[in-house]
Amino acid sequence: MKCVICKSQDIQRKKVEEEIKFGMDIVLVAVEALVCMNCGERYYTTNAMRKIESVRTKLKQKELEVQEVGKVLRAI
């Protein structure tokens, strides 16, 4: 597989955290993705995309248990 952005072939399977915005909050979802080591572009597997979608749906239905791990801060 080649990176469609930079054409590099250095693509590795990695655990990444995808950020899902939910109102003013950001929810991190750990998924496996193929990451281009040259430009950082991420390619999600079908499983990863399904997981992200299901988290998004559960968030909307307030069915997901989440844990606060940090805060989103805004400079004023």
Binding stretches for Zn ion (CB under 5 A): 3, 5-6, 8, 36, 38-39, 41
| End-to-end Cα separation, the chain, in angstroms | 44
Task: Give the whole-angstrom CA distance, residue 55 versus residue 53.
Answer: 5
Q: How far is the CB of 14 from Zn ion (least distance, A)?
A: 14
Contact between residue 62 and residue 56 where contact means Cβ atoms under 8 Å apart: no
Residue 40's identity, in one-letter code, is G
Closer by beta carbon to Zn ion, 38 or else 44: 38
Closer by beta carbon to Zn ion, 8 or else 54: 8
Using alpha carbons only, give the angle 67, 56, 50 rounded to the nearest 5 degrees: 110
Q: How far is the CB of 33 from Zn ion (least distance, A)?
A: 13
Closer by beta carbon to Zn ion, 28 or else 32: 32
